[in-house]
Amino acid sequence: MTAWREFEAAEPEFAKRVQALFDAHKHKTIATLRADGSPRISGIETAFADGELTFGSMPNARKGADLLRDPRFAVHSATVDPVEGAEAEWPGEAKISGRAVSSDGGRSFRADVAEVVHTHLNATATLLVVEWWTPAGGLRKVERE
């Protein structure tokens, strides 16, 4: 298990940028897996507290049932468009994937973090920058035209 605090300790600057993107807006999007294996996208709110990334599900909600059956998830920060003429100032978007762990039957979950991603533009807004971290691989980065 990799708690948010462990990722944060390993890559504090990267964790700070990702958390800022998640904290910038209340609503995010989570992907879960339905019983037949097909994806489900749902709105969700997340919180960073006591070194954990947490999120919840209303009683009898499908996303909670999905996570109890198959705990794999991916959650995406809110996305905003770059401002024309100021593309280099676009903060980008962040994604976190892993396994959801519940101790209360599916109303609240904490994340076992498997991957953290920040996608943004370089300083001149000429390249797409993808940075990602995994427990086994650490922090990596690619730039694409």
What are the tens digits of pLDDT across the range 77-130?
999 999 999 999 999 999 999 999 998 988 999 999 999 999 999 999 999 999
Q: Domain containing 45 — which CATH number?
A: 2.30.110.10
The structure's pTM equals: 0.95
C-alpha pair distances (Å), 56 with each of 47, 49, 97, 104, 120: 9, 13, 15, 11, 28
Residue 106's pLDDT is 87
Separation between Cα atoms, residue 57 and residue 3, nearest integer Å: 20
Give the residue numbers spanning the domain of 60: 4-144
Residue 105's pLDDT is 86
Question: Where does the pLDDT of residue 145 fall: very low under 50, low under 70, confident under 90, or very high at 90 and above?
Answer: very high
Closest residue by Cα to residue 2 from 94, 137, 119, 142: 137
Q: How many domains does the chain have?
A: 1
CA angle 49, 54, 57 (to 5 degrees): 140
